[in-house]
Amino acid sequence: MDLISFSDISTGLGNVASPWVILFLFIGVIIGMIFGAAPGLTAPAAIALFLPVTYAMGPTTSMALLLGIYCSGYFAGSIPAILINTPGTPSSAATALDGYAMAREGQGDRALSLAIWGSFVGGLFSLMLLMTVAPLLAKVALKFTSVEYFSFALAGIVCVAGISQGSMTKGLAAALFGILVSTVGLDPVSGVGRFMMGQPNLMGGISQTVALIGLFAISQMLLLSKQGEQHHAILPTQQRVSQLAVLGELWRHRWLSLRSAVIGSMVGVLPGTGPAIASWLSYSDAIRTARAGDRFGNGEAKGVVACEVSNNAVTGGAMVPLLTLGIPGDPVTAVLIGALMIQGVHTGPFLIQQDGGLFVSILFLLFLSNVLMVVVGLSGRGLMARVLNLPAAFLVPAICLTAAIGAFSVSNNAFDVRLLLIFGLVGYAMLRLGFPPAPAVLGIVLGPILEKNLRNALTVSDMDPSVFVLRPISAGALLVTAGLLYLWLGPRRRSEASET
């Protein structure tokens, strides 16, 4: 990294110290918290919505508002994921697996606190990474081709085996269903319609957000309604926890946090990925290193820590290619490039040299965003948990209405609301039959990445499949995939053989 001069540090700190900058940063954190927690209203949507507000602002003030939304929006999706098993964002779907189970045991406050502090750790780690090794990581990411992207996506699909705590066969079947759903719409190469059933609204495919809300939120509400009046409240009274105890627990899981932070930062550096993939990879890594007595999928705190640390570590990682190469790492940073261009700032290799003060300001703003996220999150967690005391007769229709509004807001199309109902029924059927919905969501997220990069890799290599094992990074990813399959399938086959 080009050296930052003392004058750059002084200028950057002076810009951030403005009361207006701090005010808009705080407003951004609040907005991000609201949008992240509302199913269907994501951080990218919030940043795109408030981008016109920055036209009359200076570069530092506009970045304060947008970065506040960016950081808190990624965390806030875990709030409904933990409290009502309704992920606010795709990246918080993995958090729901253990977070909601903890809330069902009266540990919702502990799960929320772990998510808040875990997000802070992930954001802080990725910020230090951005400050120190940004150019190096950006150069490594540039070496990734479609071959590597396919191999890593395939590894993500195999991670379904770690997510499925019941039948691995059902978990893989659910993942394949998700991949099938991701192929609906016009073929990206030939333009031929696939599985559209004569419905023009499916030309653009099925929205990941709509499918996620249906599979998680609506299915859970249908299941809750089926349980009857004996379940008057959704969850038991939540036990308040000491934040010192939470920090101590996070320290005990420090190596897991470090691994998850590294995974999230590296995924963030790779353009076109995002926090959803980072969360699933970190969750699978946590399962891979599980010890006897761990209860992943049934209220294991390490599951929440792994997902949330990795989730927010993406924020700083995604800024690496943005600031050093001018390449957005995810949809949010693509909007941030537009915000900087509005201010006459061009990102790329010369940004640090030509506008080091702004670069330092962004570093300070990312740090303060994470600090404010902790303050707002911890202050409001008691209010968040009060929703659990509402009777199911009130909460079920309220959540269903919120989900419908979120689905409609994705593209302002009533057809998405009908899709929401369909996926809700599918998710309910999966739960009743013992098929986990989480692998289906993973298949929907990774399916397009898998298909696009497989096609690109085979096209460039003249249909030679050996290219996947001839490139070292791809070969390493495939080797890890094979190792995971052996570790998970081997013991099960031996146990089945011994039973027979």
Strand partners, 391: 233
Lowest mean pLDDT among 183-192, 260-269, 326-335: 326-335
Look at residue 404 and tell me whether its pLDDT is greater than 80.
yes
Handedness of CA 452, 456, 457, 459 (dihedral sign): positive
Higher pLDDT among residues 79 and 7, named by residue:
79
Between 371 and 331, the more confident residue is: 371
Would you state the pLDDT for residue 480?
Answer: 77
Average pLDDT, the chain: 77
For residue 349, what pLDDT is reported? 61
Q: Looking at 199-203, 224-228, 257-261, which range is the least confident one?
A: 224-228
Please state whether the predicted TM-score (pTM) of the whole model is above 0.95: no
Q: Are 21 and 64 in contact (CB under 8 A)?
A: yes
Minimum mean pLDDT range among 45-59, 132-146, 419-433? 132-146
Look at residue 170 in the predicted model and tell me its pLDDT: 78
Note the pLDDT of residue 452.
83
- Higher-scoring residue by pLDDT: 394, 185: 185
Mean pLDDT (whole number) for 397-414: 79
pLDDT computed for residue 63 by the predictor: 84
DSSP state of 350: T
Is residue 198 pLDDT above 60, yes or no? Answer: yes
Q: Identify the residue with better confidence: 483 or 455.
A: 455
Note the pLDDT of residue 166. Answer: 56
Among 25-29, 145-149, 156-160, 215-219, the range with the most confident prediction by mean pLDDT is 25-29
Structural domains in the chain (count): 1
Answer with the residue of higher pLDDT: 12 or 474.
474
Burial of 386 (0-12, 13-18, 19+ CB in 10 A): exposed
**Of 311, 222, 223, 216, whose CA–CA distance to 260 is shortest?**
311
Give the N- to C-terminal CA distance of the chain in Å, as an integer.
61
- Copy the structure tokens of residue 38: 């509302």
Residue-wise pLDDT for 18-58, tens only, equals 888 899 999 999 888 887 776 656 676 677 667 767 777 88
User: Measured between alpha carbons, how far is 23 from 3 in angstroms, rounded to an integer?
Assistant: 30
The whole-number pLDDT of residue 66 equals 86
CB-based contact 119:315 (threshold 8 Å): no
229 has pLDDT over 50: no
> How confident is the model at residue 425, as a pLDDT?
92
For 103, half-sphere exposure in the C-beta direction (CA atoms, 13 angstrom radius) is 33
Rounded mean pLDDT, 456-474: 85
Residue range(s) defining the domain that contains residue 58: 6-499
Mean pLDDT computed over 91-113: 83
What angle do helix axes 93-104 and 437-460 make, rounded to 10 degrees?
170
Ranges 145-149, 293-297, 423-427, 465-469: which has the least confidence = 293-297
Calpha distance 218→495 (Å, rounded): 37
From residue 57, how far is each of 69, 339, 475 by CA, in Å? 16, 10, 48
pLDDT of residue 139: 59
Whether the pLDDT of residue 1 is over 50: the answer is no
- Residue with structure tokens 């195999």? 158
429-442 per-position pLDDT tens digit: 888 888 877 678 77
What pLDDT was estimated at residue 233? 45
Residue 427 above 60 pLDDT?
yes
Share of the chain above pLDDT 70, in %: 77
Q: Give the pLDDT band (50/70/90) at residue 132.
A: confident
Share of the chain above pLDDT 90, in %: 2
In a domain, 1, yes or no: no
State yes or no: pLDDT of 232 exceeds 50: no
Q: What is the pLDDT of residues 361-385, one digit of tens each?
A: 888 888 898 899 888 888 877 676 5
pLDDT at position 498 over 70: no
pLDDT number for residue 330: 61
Which pLDDT tens digit goes with each residue over 47-97?
Answer: 766 776 777 788 888 888 888 888 888 888 888 888 877 777 777 878 888
